[in-house]
Amino acid sequence: MPNKGYKQTEEHKKKTSQSLIGNARCIGRIPWNKGKKGLQIAWNKGKPQTEKAKEKNRVAHSGENHPNYGKHLNEETKEKLRIANLGEKNPMFGKPSSFLGRRHTKKSKIKNKIAHLGENNYWYGKHHTEEQLRKMLRRRIPTSLEEKFQSIVDKHNLPYKYVGNGSFIIGGKNPDFINTNNEKIAVEVYAEYFKKKDYKTIENYKIQRSEVFRQYGWEIMYFNEIEVNEENILIKLKEVNK
């Protein structure tokens, strides 16, 4: 538009208003939305966009063309939006998921898997920084298994402390416990069910974890839910601290 970025002056607005008074084209004209309430049905509802139109819209609203490009919400606006969408104010409050009761087909699962493999994955080649890991884990409280391990350690004054809240990072990994006598010994306390879920096998979990810790000169010990008992912990930890 030729006047894009310009604003009409009050004088200009007044002249425009006066020029329309008595204009034959405006006399008796009824606004298109007079008497209509609520949202109006879009003229193109039910008409799918062509691929050409989709691409045109995408280009027209990507990068610097996007109206919010380079802009950031201030804290006040963020808080207003958060409050506006709490509880019953949230437009999705009380509504079942649109996917409720449905399942992905095998074809859909394969398609999703391929779409996120290798370089297509958002995290491909990326790693969390130590600061990001600390922020992610700072609110993590010890599990019941970790608490049990800590109570046994405290009871016998063994030199180990809990760092699983992100307070100590080794090669981008956060161990559960570390030795406090300046020895590079870390301890992982785990439930087999969850590790098998994430790593397929316990062996895979230990190999991947140990490789990272070994690069930084750390020895790592593992205790599953059965091995977290007073007798076993005392034998293993005292052996390695001789």
Whether 137 and 174 have beta carbons less than 8 Å apart is answered as yes
The structure's pTM equals 0.48
Q: Over the range 12-27, which residues count as b (16 or more CB within 10 Å of their CB) and which as e?
A: eeeeeeeeeeeeeeee
Question: Does position 68 have pLDDT exceeding 60, yes or no?
Answer: yes
Six-digit token pair at 130? Answer: 């130590």
Judged by average pLDDT, the poorest of 89-93, 151-155, 161-165 is 89-93
Amino acid code (one letter) for 205: Y
> What strands lie across the sheet with 219-224, from one edge to the other?
160-162, 177-179, 185-190, 219-224
Domains belonging to the chain, first-starting first, are 139-240 (3.40.960.10)
Question: Does position 156 have pLDDT exceeding 90, yes or no?
Answer: yes
Whether 175 and 188 have beta carbons less than 8 Å apart is answered as yes
∠ CA 234-238-242, rounded to 5°: 175
| C-alpha pair distances (Å), 178 with each of 181, 189, 210 | 9, 11, 14
Which residues contact residue 170 at a Cβ distance below 8 angstroms, ignoring those fewer than 6 apart? 186, 212, 213, 216, 218
Pick the closest to residue 176 from 208, 207, 144 (CA basis): 144
How far is C-alpha 223 from the geometric centre of its chain's CA atoms?
Answer: 30
Question: Does position 206 have pLDDT exceeding 90, yes or no?
Answer: yes
Whether 176 and 189 have beta carbons less than 8 Å apart is answered as yes
Pick the closest to residue 233 from 3, 67, 225 (CA basis): 225
Give φ, ψ of 226 to 5 degrees.
Answer: -80, -35
| CA 234 – CA 156 distance, rounded (Å) | 8
Mean pLDDT of the chain: 82
Q: Which of 56-60, 71-75, 118-122, 229-233 has the highest mean pLDDT?
A: 229-233
Question: Does position 99 have pLDDT exceeding 80, yes or no?
Answer: no
Q: Which of 17-26, 36-45, 118-127, 154-163 has the highest mean pLDDT?
A: 154-163
The helix or strand, by DSSP H or E, that contains position 140, with its residue range, turns out to be: none
